[in-house]
């Protein structure tokens, strides 16, 4: 790097350790699709971090008895706790599906179907709950509390639906035998993100 070492050894660059460069090959550490998805997940994490910090700031400024306001319906904490369990289970089954797929594709596909089914159950139950809450008057415009509830939980729902669509797409490709490891891993990574971020959102929005 310094001028001195350069003067001593003009051919320094080729003296680096490792195999000669002419024998090196193009290195792709992780499949492109997985890497792209991981980078996307970083951005998504920051989106949720932004929403949760906004939630924290607004909540910290409002009186406790107004969060939620007395006239508003309470959030269904217990039912959602069960539903959270369903989503986490889906994540575990997904993990098992990924492990099975490379050895026994048929078993992997079966497990993946279970995982997608559990995920879909989560979305449907959440959607029904959400619909009931809106019917009882918890719309975005009535208070800051309900606005944040709809924003954060709704945003997560959109991500869950998107991830499920990707997984169904992978399933169909698996059925035709054309799914690649990269595609499966990318969809999986996104599903783990959806599963992993949910307990934090649940704890923040429903519990604390």
Partner 1 sequence: MASTADHADHADHAGDAGHAHHEPGFVKKYLWSTDHKMIAMQYLFTGMVMALIGGYFAYAFRMQMAFPGQHVPGFGFMAPGEYNGLVTSHGTIMIFWVAMPVLLAAFGNFLIPLMIGCDDMVFPRLNRLSYQIFLISAVVLVASFFVHGGPFGGAWTAYPPLSAKAEYNLTPLGATLWLVAVALEFVAFLLGGINFVTTAMNARAPGMRMWDIPIVIWMIVLASIMFMASVGPLVAGAAMLLFDQTLGTAFYDPARGGDPILWQHLFWFFGHPEVYVVLLPALGIVAEVMTVFARKKLFAYKTVLYTAIATGILGFFVWAHHQFIAGIDPRMANVFTVTTVLISVPIGEMCFVYIATLYGGSIRLTTPMLWALAFLAEFLIGGVTGIFLGASGSDIYLHDTYFVLAHFHYTFFPIAIIAVFAGITYWYPKMFGRMLNETLGKIHFWITIVGFNMAFIPLFICGAAGDHRRIYDYSSFPDLAKPYLQNLRILATVGTIVILFGQIFFLINFFRSLRGGPVAGPNPWRANTLEWTVPSPPPHGNFAVMPTVYRGPYEYSVPGREEDFWPQNLPD
Q: How far apart are CA 62 and CA 83, in angstroms?
A: 29
Q: Which part of the chain contacts partner 1 (CB under 8 A), choosing from 42-50, 104-112, 115-123, 164-172? A: 42-50
Q: DSSP alpha helices (H): ranges in the chain?
A: 3-8, 32-61, 77-103, 105-135, 144-175, 181-202
Residue 112, both tokens: 């993946």
49 binds partner 1 (CB under 8 A): yes
Q: How far apart are CA 166 and CA 45, in angstroms?
A: 19
Count of residues near partner 1 by CB under 8 A: 48
First vs last Cα of the chain: how many Å apart? 54
Identity of the residue, 28 or 71, whose beta carbon is nearer to partner 1 in the bound complex: 28
- Does residue 6 touch partner 1 according to CB under 8 A? yes
C-alpha 136 chain-centroid distance: 30
Choose which of 4, 5, 29, 208 interacts with partner 1 (CB under 8 A): 29
Binders of partner 1 among 167-206, rule CB under 8 A? Answer: none
Q: Which residues bind partner 1 (CB under 8 A)?
A: 1, 6-7, 10, 13-14, 16, 21-22, 24-30, 32-33, 35-36, 39-40, 42-51, 53-54, 57-58, 61-62, 66, 140-141, 143-145, 147-148, 151, 155
């Amino acid at each position: 790097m310094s001028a001195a070492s350069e003067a001593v050894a003009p051919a320094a660059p080729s003296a680096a350790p490792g195999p000669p460069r002419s024998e090196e090959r193009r290195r792709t550490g992780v499949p492109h699709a997985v890497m792209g998805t991981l980078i996307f997940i970083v951005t998504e994490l920051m989106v949720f971090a932004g929403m949760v910090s906004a939630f924290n700031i607004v909540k910290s400024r409002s009186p406790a008895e107004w969060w939620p306001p007395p006239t508003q319906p309470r959030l269904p904490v217990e039912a959602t706790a069960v539903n959270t369990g369903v989503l986490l289970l889906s994540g575990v089954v997904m993990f098992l599906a990924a492990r099975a797929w490379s050895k026994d594709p048929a078993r992997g596909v079966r497990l993946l179907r279970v995982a997608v089914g559990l995920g879909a159950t989560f979305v449907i139950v959440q959607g029904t709950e959400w619909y009931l809450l809106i019917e009882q008057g918890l719309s975005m415009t009535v208070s800051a509390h309900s606005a944040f509830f709809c924003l954060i939980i709704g945003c997560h729902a959109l991500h869950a639906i998107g991830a499920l669509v990707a997984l169904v797409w992978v399933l169909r490709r698996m059925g035709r035998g054309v799914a690649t490891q990269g595609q499966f891993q990318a969809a999986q990574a996104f599903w783990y993100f959806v599963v992993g971020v949910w307990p934090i959102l649940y704890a923040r929005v429903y519990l604390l």
